[in-house]
Structure 1
C-alpha cells in the first residue's frame, strides 16, 4: 500500500473506528443496564431514556407507591392519619432513594428522613399545587435539588393535608452511575486499543523500513557496502529502499572497478618498469661498449648500433602504446572515419606486414570471400592498429616451429567477419575470458622474453566496439588461436545518397 493510502487509512481508523466501537459498546451497555433497571425496579423504559432522561426513570421508580397513595386518598383518606401505614409507605421508598413527608395544615407531622428533609422543607409547595410535570411529579431546583410528588387531601377533622414523595436526585441510581463509569472506561479502553493498533501498524509499515534504511546508511558510512536491504515496490518507502539498494550496488561496483583500476595501474607501472629496464640496460651496455672501445671493428660497431636502434625502437613502440591507452582510458580517442574498400585495404596491409613476418620465418595467407567492391566506414589508421596488435600478439606465441598466420574475411549479413588465425602455442582455457581485459597477461613471468603491457588486445576490443563491431577469441592449447572481429558494411547506395 502506498504511503498516501496508509495515511488515509490511519485517518479513517482514527475518525471512524473509535466511534463505531463506542456506539456498539454503548448500545450493549445501555441494553444491559436497561434490563437491569427493569428487573430491579420493575419499570419499563425506552433504552435511550436511561441516558437522556434519568429523572423520568427516577420518577417512575416511585410510581407504584404514588399510585397506592392516590387510591388510598380516594377510598380511605383516614389511613394517612395512621402512623404505621405512613411508615409502611416510607419503608417501600427507602430502597428507592425516596422518603415520605406528611403535612397537616402548616405543620409537618411526619418525615422519613430528618437530615434531607431539613434541607428542602422550605421549598415544599402549598396545598392544591398544580405544577405537576412528569408522571405526577415535578423537579425542584436549588442547592439541594429533588424530585417531588404531592397528593393533597383533607384529614377527618377537615384540616388540609398533603403527603409528599421526595426523591433525592443528587444520588443517581447505582446502575445508571455504573453505566456512566462503564461508558467512560470503554471509551478510554477503545482509544488505547485503537492507538496501540495504529502505532504498531505505522511502526511496521513506515518506521521499521525507515530504521532499516537508517541502519543501511550507517553501514555504508562505515564502509560496509555489503549491507543489503529489500523494499516493497508498492509503496514509496519500499521504492526508496530499492533505490538505495541500487545505489549501493552501483557504488560497490564503482569502488570495485576503482580498486581494480588501481591494482591494474600498479601492475602496469611494474610491467613498464620491467619492459623499459631491459632495453635501457641493453642500450646503456652497448653504448658503453662503443665508448670504451670494446667495439673495435666496424662490424662490431655496426652490430652494437643496430642493437641500440632496435632497443630504442622497442621503447618507442611501448611509449606509443601507453600514450594510445591513455587516450582510450580518457575517452579521447581520435577517429577519422572514411569509406574504405575492404579488399584493397587488406591487400595493401598484408603486403606491408608480410615483409616483417618473412624475416621472422612466419608465413601469412589472405582469403577474402566478400565482394571486392564492399565498403566499410572505418578509421584506416586505427583499423591498421587492430590488425597489427592481433598479429603482433600471434607472433609472440609462435615458437619453435614454422609460423603461419591466416587472415580470412567472409560475409556475415550486415557485417563482415575478419578471422586472424595462427598456429602458435594457444591460450589456456582459464585465460580465454580475460584476454581482452586491460593489463591482462597470460604469461605472468616478468622474465619472459615476450614482454608486453597487456594492452594490445584491450585496445583492439575498444577500437572494434567504437566501430560498432564485436570481437571474440577461440583457442586450443598446442594448436593455435583465432581472433574474430566484425565490421559493419556500408552499402554503396547509402554513400551516394550522402
Structure 2
C-alpha cells in the first residue's frame, strides 16, 4: 500500500470512525438514560427524540398528575382548598421538578414553592378559560419564567371560578438528561483520542520501521561496514527507498571491493617490478664493479661485461615500459594509431624481425602465411607488434626444451584474420588456462621467481586485442606446448555507386 493511500485512509478514518462510534455510544447511552428516566419518573414510551427535546420529557413528567388533577376537579373541586390534599399533591410534583399553583378570582389560593421564586411565573399565567391545556406537554412560559404549565379550569360549589396550574421548571434539566449530555461529550472525546492514537501509531509504525532500517544502514556505512542486507516487505515509497538504499550499498560495496582489488594489484605490481628490477640492477652493479676493479682485463671480457650490462638495462627498460603501458591501460589512455594494413606485408616484415631475434636465442622459428595478397585489416601496427612480442617473450620465459621452437601462422577465417603463435614449451594446466589473461595471474609452473615478469603481459595483450574488436584465447598441453590465437576483423571496402 502506497504511503499516499495510507494518508487517505487515515483521513477518512478520522472522519468516519468517530462518527460511527459516537453514533453507537449515543444509542447505548441514550437507551440506558431513557430507561433510567422512565424508571425514576414513572413514565413509559419515551423515544430518542426526547433526548434531543428536553421539553418533551419534562412535559411528560407531570402527565399522570395532570390527569389526576382533572379527575379531582370533576369529582370534588373542594379538595383544591384542602391544605392537606394540596400539600400531598404538591409533594408528589416536587419529585418531578414541578409544583402546584391554585388561583381563584384573581387571587393566589395556593403556591407550592416560595412566592418570590414563582413571581415571574404568576405574572405570565393565562386567565381563566384562556388556555386550558389538553396537549401532552402543556404551554411554555418564556422570559424569566422558563416553565412548562398545565392548566385546569374549574368551579367551586358556590360557582366561583378558579384555575389550577401544574408548573414544571425547565431552567433545571433533569439529571438524567444532564448525565446524557456529559456522557456523550466524554464518549466523543475518548473516541477522538482513541482514533487519533490508533492512526498515529499505525502511521508511525509504517514510517519509522523503514526509517530505522535506513538509519541503521547509514550508520553501518558510516562505520565502513557494507556486509549487510536491507530487506523490505512493502512496495510503497518507503519500501522503494529501502530498495534504492540497498542498491546504493551494493554499488558502494562493489566499488570498495574493486578499489581493494586495485590496491592489491598495485601492491603486487610494485612487488613484482621491484623484485624483477632488483635482478638486473644487481647484475649491472656487479659487472660495473668488475670493470672498475679491473676484472675485465681483456678485450673479450670487457665486451662480455658491457654486453651483459646492456642486456640487463634492456630488461629494465622493458619492465618500465610494461609498467607505463599498464598505467595507460588502467586509465584507458593507450594512444592507438589505427591504419589500414596489408596483412601479408605486415606479417612478412614481422616474421623477418622475429626470425633474427629467435635465432640469436637458439630458438627455431617457423612462419606460415595462408592469406591472399589483397587481405587487409584496420589496426595499430605498433600495438599488434607489442601483442606478438609479449606472447613470444612469455613463451621464451617458460621454454623448458633444449631446442626451442616457435611457429607463427596467419590464416583467413571468413570475416577475420586469425594469428596463431605456437611453442613447444612446458604447457599450461587445463585449470589455469582460462585465467592466464587475468592481471598478475601466474600458473603453478610459472611461480619460480627466477623467471621474473610483472604478471601483466598477457592482460595487456587481451586489452589491446579487444580494443581492436577481436578476441584472444589459448590451447595447451602440459609438457607439449601452448598455442595462442587472436583474430582481427578484415577491412572490407564498400563500393560507391556512381
Q: TM-score range by the shorter chain?
A: 0.7 to 0.9
**Matched residue of 2:227: which SS?**
coil
Instruction: Give yes or no for the alignment of 1:278 onto 2:276.
Output: no
Indicate the residue corresponding to 1:19 in structure 2.
19
Indicate the residue corresponding to 1:101 in structure 2.
101
Deviation of the 1:396 alpha carbon: 1.4
Distance 2:133 2:421 in 1: 122
Indicate the residue corresponding to 1:471 in structure 2.
472
8 Å CA contact 1:56–1:134 kept in 2: the answer is no
**Matched residue of 1:449: which SS?**
helix
Distance 1:202 1:372, change over 3 A: farther
Unaligned runs of 5+ in 1: none
Indicate the residue corresponding to 2:200 in structure 1.
199
Indicate the residue corresponding to 2:69 in structure 1.
69
Deviation of the 1:88 alpha carbon: 5.3
Distance 1:274 1:198 in 2: 70
Q: Deviations over 1:449-474 (max 9, x none)?
A: 21111121121122122223333445
8 Å CA contact 2:56–2:137 kept in 1: the answer is no
Indicate the residue corresponding to 1:147 in structure 2.
148
**Matched residue of 2:454: which SS?**
coil
- The equivalences for 1:479-498 within 5 A come to 479-493=480-494
TM-score (norm 2): 0.86
Deviation of the 1:202 alpha carbon: 1.2
Deviation of the 1:87 alpha carbon: 4.9
Distance 2:338 2:234 in 1: 47
Distance 2:148 2:390 in 1: 116
- The equivalences for 1:12-411 within 5 A come to 12-30=12-30, 33-34=33-34, 37=37, 41-47=42-48, 49-83=49-83, 85-87=85-87, 89-90=89-90, 92-105=92-105, 108-112=108-112, 114=113, 119-124=117-122, 125-126=124-125, 127-128=127-128, 130=131, 135-141=136-142, 145-231=146-232, 234-365=235-366, 373-407=374-408
**Matched residue of 1:238: which SS?**
helix
Unaligned runs of 5+ in 2: none
**Matched residue of 2:399: which SS?**
coil
**Matched residue of 1:323: which SS?**
helix
8 Å CA contact 1:43–1:60 kept in 2: the answer is no
8 Å CA contact 1:30–1:50 kept in 2: the answer is no
8 Å CA contact 2:400–2:426 kept in 1: the answer is yes
Deviation of the 1:242 alpha carbon: 1.8
Distance 1:470 1:286, change over 3 A: same
Deviation of the 1:59 alpha carbon: 0.8
**Is 197-206 or 312-321 further displaced after alignment?**
197-206
Deviation of the 1:422 alpha carbon: 3.4
Deviation of the 1:30 alpha carbon: 3.9
Deviation of the 1:424 alpha carbon: 2.7
**Matched residue of 2:377: which SS?**
strand
Indicate the residue corresponding to 1:458 in structure 2.
459
Distance 1:35 1:136, change over 3 A: closer
Distance 2:478 2:85 in 1: 130
Distance 1:478 1:108 in 2: 142
8 Å CA contact 1:421–1:482 kept in 2: the answer is yes
Distance 1:105 1:471, change over 3 A: farther
Deviation of the 1:307 alpha carbon: 0.7
**Matched residue of 2:153: which SS?**
strand
**Matched residue of 1:340: which SS?**
strand
Deviation of the 1:254 alpha carbon: 1.6
Distance 2:249 2:257 in 1: 12
Aligned length: 493
Deviation of the 1:37 alpha carbon: 4.9
**Is 254-263 or 135-144 further displaced after alignment?**
135-144
Distance 2:360 2:8 in 1: 85
Distance 1:412 1:185 in 2: 93
Distance 1:474 1:92 in 2: 121
Q: Deviations over 1:380-434 (max 9, x none)?
A: 2112212221222122122135434445556667555544443333345665554
**Is 478-487 or 10-19 further displaced after alignment?**
478-487
Distance 1:57 1:240, change over 3 A: same
8 Å CA contact 2:137–2:148 kept in 1: the answer is no
Distance 1:413 1:30 in 2: 97
Indicate the residue corresponding to 1:6 in structure 2.
6
**Is 155-164 or 321-330 further displaced after alignment?**
155-164
Distance 1:362 1:105 in 2: 156
**Is 92-101 or 300-309 further displaced after alignment?**
92-101
Distance 2:36 2:415 in 1: 95
**Is 183-192 or 65-74 further displaced after alignment?**
65-74
Distance 1:354 1:168, change over 3 A: farther
**Matched residue of 1:493: which SS?**
coil
Distance 2:46 2:404 in 1: 118
**Is 126-135 or 303-312 further displaced after alignment?**
126-135
How big is the alpha-carbon RMSD for the aligned residues of Structure 1 and Structure 2?
A: 3.4
Q: Deviations over 1:267-307 (max 9, x none)?
A: 22222222222112211221222232211111111111111
**Matched residue of 1:492: which SS?**
coil
8 Å CA contact 2:131–2:151 kept in 1: the answer is no
